[in-house]
Structure 1
């Protein structure tokens, strides 16, 4: 592939074909009038091109408020391409090209970016995940099965000592992975330096006693130079993972962390609803996650089945599979990442999560699903491991629970969700 492609779902009072032409002009050589310097040769070299149009329907009313009006609003799927030379090897320029001013065009009463296709040279020029699933497992000492994890709760409010006390409870429960909440970074009540010192002491003692180091993801989200200093703090304390709120720091921010990091980058998608919640505007997860994998995220949140948010199970399935799908193209690096399944998860959702992926290369984060187990956090972790083993053996979780007490108690405690994938 020598061109960049993007697929959009659009609606227009001017007709899909006309709107597509406006999009192509706006996002390459054109503007609202023909320019004297916009020669035929220049357009041949640099103009965007409409590759495909598929009409999918129409409506008597616009999906979104629009200054342009018409007797009907035609809907369709449009594929646009650009010469790779327009973008070079810049992820920020790529994003400005495929998701820039076109979201504001008056000709569009709906626009959603569905997918992007990239030249191998651009993919290979990006760092991609440094560790991914395989590297995460190595840092966990050759871990088998899905990674069982949780999030420090309360989200904010605990000081460093309180956080460390909770971490002690969790490592005693034999958990694999713990993360700071996205809201807990470097506040005055629980400064990152104090938290790293207190938590690391717990992790070190546990590793000395058991030979196994639990992965703790410290939230380093901040300005770029401060994130670099935060990385130095983590590395000085033998930390293995850093949370980065990727929408907050942007593509250059994630790339800046990746370029200096010796730890796993746990990409949190806080703010994702801004891009995803409306079917009529935004970016699909399929397109969005490619950019963050290219920038260097090792882990990416994908929500969870029967979650507490608005996304359907089908959308969660699509997101989880996308993160593990290699980049297309001859010679392109795969750059796969590790999906993080979370949000209202219990032992009921382990097997469906594994089945939809077809492998164990995911992090399964449960808060209440561990901490609220009637036998305590240790039993909560054991129950999740038992659910994972039932899934590996392809045994119904209720049947497996008959001979596994912790799992049985979990299934009796937590309501069985309705899952449709």
Structure 2
């Protein structure tokens, strides 16, 4: 048994919900957990791990009012009928008892004091996940949902649905975007020409690839200025607004200068990878204002793809939205089957909310399914393959895809 579990006998009441407490002082977190232990013991151990691992040290620590206001509390524990089998091997205790078939699956809700989550993006995941998955008796762990307070947790999207539609001058229908690919092995002039031609054909915007790397600020500036110039030339030729999103996937000490370079070059948005660069980076850029943010999934699917381990993709996107993302990327092949999923239609008059970006082999024939899945046309289509292999070339392909969008809208 772990040291924390040996101490459960001391003050277990400090880790169970007390009706005398005010729910407004807590954020509710819901988990699906596979455990070798019973649900109540598992839940209390999780609560201890994320707050006070010990509640009494003679001469130093007492279970007083401050301690009582600082501990994570168990709200509910429910057994699930689904099997708890996992590829994660348990450890601790008697190895002879490590039978995967012993594990049970539990739905656990914890109340986490807001005083432990001081509206700081880095502290959020540290507080609601932290070291809980390290427990040797836990064989599955997924953070499923968070009940965010109505205010005080992050800046939220600076533009949202209505703001993005206005910025890109697309009053209805999905926004058609082509990502830069190949991201390596071609020069700036070729990238600019490729962007220009798909924009002239009908794409509303283009974006950098997260894999593009720049040796220094001068190289980055040369790139974004060339892409912005090709966007402007395409807008002049097409007679409509066009957009370009620049990648800010870079080192922390490069971020401020590159954001300024992007702003000065007149880019229409920036791309960040929050699970690579940190939620704090996302929130910081959002607070600078003036620039829509696309939250990229680089490294994110390490946390979201396995159904029994990590963070629910819907929740992770909600966290990105909370801390300033205006566009978030839907998981995998979302939308292809037309089954309603993570996003209901917010509508252009709703409060600022992130637009989902759909990718992964999207094509004109799927537009009706994408609309059903989203519940409307408030989304971005990130399309490359269908355009790149079209027999008539990328400009004609973009024109055909755009015609299908306009016809549906």
Structure 2 CA distance, aligned partners of 1:390 and 1:209? Answer: 22
1:146 to 146, 151, 174: 174
Alignment of 1:318 with 2:346, yes or no, is no
Aligned runs of 1:91-170 on 2, under 5 Å? 91-123=121-153, 126-170=154-198
Q: Tell me, which stretches of 5 or more residues in structure 1 are unaligned? A: 327-332, 393-421
Structure 2 CA distance, aligned partners of 1:306 and 1:110? Answer: 24
Shift of 1:370: 1.7
Alignment of 1:11 with 2:34, yes or no, is yes
The aligned residue for residue 329 of structure 1 is none
Q: Deviations over 1:89-129 (max 9, x none)?
A: 22211211101010111231211111111222433xx2111
The aligned residue for residue 25 of structure 1 is 48
2:353 to 336, 360, 364: 336
1:285 to 285, 303, 313: 313
Q: Deviations over 1:313-345 (max 9, x none)?
A: 69x9534x17x679xxxxxx9541011101111
Q: Tell me, which stretches of 5 or more residues in structure 2 are unaligned? A: 1-22
The aligned residue for residue 20 of structure 2 is none
Aligned runs of 1:254-273 on 2, under 5 Å? 254-273=282-301
The aligned residue for residue 369 of structure 1 is 386
1:78 to 108, 113, 127: 108
The aligned residue for residue 81 of structure 2 is 57
1:348 to 339, 362, 365: 365
Structure 1 CA distance, aligned partners of 2:53 and 2:151? Answer: 26
- TM-score norm. by structure 1 comes to 0.82
CA contact (8 A) 1:50 1:81 kept: yes
Structure 2 CA distance, aligned partners of 1:390 and 1:304? Answer: 26
Shift of 1:154: 0.8
The aligned residue for residue 403 of structure 1 is none
CA contact (8 A) 1:224 1:256 kept: no
Alignment of 1:181 with 2:204, yes or no, is no
> How many residues are treated as equivalent by the alignment?
376
CA contact (8 A) 2:206 2:243 kept: yes
The aligned residue for residue 214 of structure 1 is 242
Distance 1:174 1:275, change over 3 A: same
Structure 1 CA distance, aligned partners of 2:334 and 2:159? Answer: 29
Distance 1:360 1:286, change over 3 A: same
Alignment of 1:360 with 2:390, yes or no, is no
Structure 2 CA distance, aligned partners of 1:349 and 1:77? Answer: 36
CA contact (8 A) 2:341 2:373 kept: no
Q: Deviations over 1:207-233 (max 9, x none)?
A: 344442311111111123422211211
Distance 1:101 1:304, change over 3 A: closer
Distance 1:317 1:282, change over 3 A: farther
The aligned residue for residue 241 of structure 1 is 269
- TM-score norm. by structure 2 comes to 0.84
Deviates more, 1:213-222 or 1:95-104: 213-222
Shift of 1:12: 1.1
Structure 1 CA distance, aligned partners of 2:369 and 2:85? Answer: 39
Deviates more, 1:51-60 or 1:229-238: 51-60
Structure 1 CA distance, aligned partners of 2:189 and 2:367? Answer: 32
**Secondary structure at the counterpart of residue 373 of structure 1:** coil
Structure 1 CA distance, aligned partners of 2:84 and 2:252? Answer: 48
Structure 2 CA distance, aligned partners of 1:142 and 1:273? Answer: 30
Distance 1:366 1:61, change over 3 A: closer
Distance 1:281 1:60, change over 3 A: closer
CA contact (8 A) 1:304 1:344 kept: no
